[in-house]
Chain A
Amino acid sequence: MLRDKYATEIDALLARFPQRKSAVLHLMHLAQSEYGYLSEEAMREVADIVGVDATHVLSLAGFYSLFYEEPVGRYVLEVCNDLACALRGADEFVDMASRKLDIPVEGTTNDGLFTLKTVMCLGGCDRAPMLQCNLKFYENLDESKFEALIAELRAKAAADPEPSVVERIIGYVAQVS
Chain B
Amino acid sequence: MAHVLLRHRDIEDLHKLDVYRRNGGYDGLKKALGMTRAEVIDVVKASNLRGRGGAGFPTGLKWSFIPKNAPETYVLINTDESETGTFKDRELIERNPHQVIEGALIAAYAVNSRLVFNYIRGEYMDAAWAFEEALRECREAGIVGRGIMGSDVDIEFYTHFGAGAYICGEETALIESLAGNLGQPWSKPPFPAVEGLYRKPTVVNNTETLANVPGILVNGPDWFKSTGTEDSPGNKIVCISGHVTTPGNYEVPLGTTYRELLAMAGGMKDGKAFKAILPSGGSGPIITEDALDAACSYDGLTPFRSVMGSASVIVMDETTDMVWAALKMIHFFRHESCGKCTPCREGTFWMEKVLHRIYDGHGTEADIKLLESVANNMTGKCLCALGEFATSPVLSSIRHFLPEYKAKVSTAAQQAARESVPVAMVGR
Q: Min CB distance, B105 to chain A, in Å? A: 17
Q: Min CB distance, B276 to chain A, in Å? A: 11
Picked from B84, B127, B249, B278, the residue with its CB within 8 Å of the CB of A121 is: B84
Which of A65, A83, A121 counts the most B-chain CB atoms under 10 A from its CB?
A83
**B240 within 8 Å of A by Cβ?**
yes
Q: Establish whether residues A120 and B336, one from each chain, have CB atoms under 8 Å apart when the complex forms.
A: yes
Distance, CA A65 to CA B165, complexed state (A):
7
Q: Establish whether residues A126 and B198, one from each chain, have CB atoms under 8 Å apart when the complex forms.
A: no
**B166 within 8 Å of A by Cβ?**
yes
Residue of B nearest to A25 (CB): B163
Q: Which of A102-110, A132-140, A149-157 contacts B (4 or more CB under 8 A)?
A: A132-140
**B248 within 8 Å of A by Cβ?**
yes
Distance, CA A111 to CA B200, complexed state (A):
50
Contacts of A119 in B (CB 8 A): 164
Q: Min CB distance, A169 to chain B, in Å? A: 8
Known interface pairs A60-B182, A88-B242, A125-B239. Does A82 touch B328 (Cβ–Cβ under 8 Å)?
Answer: yes
Q: Establish whether residues B81 and A52, one from each chain, have CB atoms under 8 Å apart when the complex forms.
A: no
**A124 within 8 Å of B by Cβ?**
yes
Known interface pairs A121-B83, A123-B124. Does A87 touch B314 (Cβ–Cβ under 8 Å)?
Answer: yes
Which of B83, B163, B243 counts the most A-chain CB atoms under 10 A from its CB?
B163
**B191 within 8 Å of A by Cβ?**
no
* Chain B interface main SS type: mixed
Q: Which of A3-11, A15-23, A69-77, A93-101 contacts B (4 or more CB under 8 A)?
A: A15-23
**B47 within 8 Å of A by Cβ?**
no
Contacts of B183 in A (CB 8 A): 63-64
Q: What string of 1s and 0s marks CB contacts (under 8 Å) between B115-134 and chain A?
A: 10000011111111100100
Q: Establish whether residues A25 and B162, one from each chain, have CB atoms under 8 Å apart when the complex forms.
A: yes
Q: Establish whether residues A87 and B179, one from each chain, have CB atoms under 8 Å apart when the complex forms.
A: no
Q: Min CB distance, B319 to chain A, in Å? A: 10
Contacts of A64 in B (CB 8 A): 122, 162-165, 183
**A84 within 8 Å of B by Cβ?**
yes
**A50 within 8 Å of B by Cβ?**
yes
Residue of B nearest to A65 (CB): B164
Contacts of A137 in B (CB 8 A): 126-127
Distance, CA A176 to CA B332, complexed state (A):
36
Known interface pairs A135-B126, A137-B126. Does A63 touch B165 (Cβ–Cβ under 8 Å)?
Answer: yes
**B158 within 8 Å of A by Cβ?**
yes
Q: Establish whether residues B242 and A120, one from each chain, have CB atoms under 8 Å apart when the complex forms.
A: no
Question: Which residues of A are in contact with B by a Cβ distance under 8 Å?
Answer: 16, 18-19, 21-26, 28-29, 50, 52, 59-60, 63-67, 82-84, 86-88, 119-126, 128, 132, 135-137, 168-169, 171-172, 175-176
Question: Which residues of B are in contact with A by a Cβ distance under 8 Å?
Answer: 72, 81-87, 90, 115, 121-129, 132, 135-136, 158-166, 177-183, 198, 239-243, 247-249, 278, 281-282, 314-316, 320, 325, 328-329, 332, 335-336, 338
Q: For the A-B complex with A63-B183, A125-B247 known, give 6 more contacts whose Cβ atoms are closer than 8 Å.
A: A25-B162, A29-B163, A66-B164, A125-B84, A135-B125, A137-B126
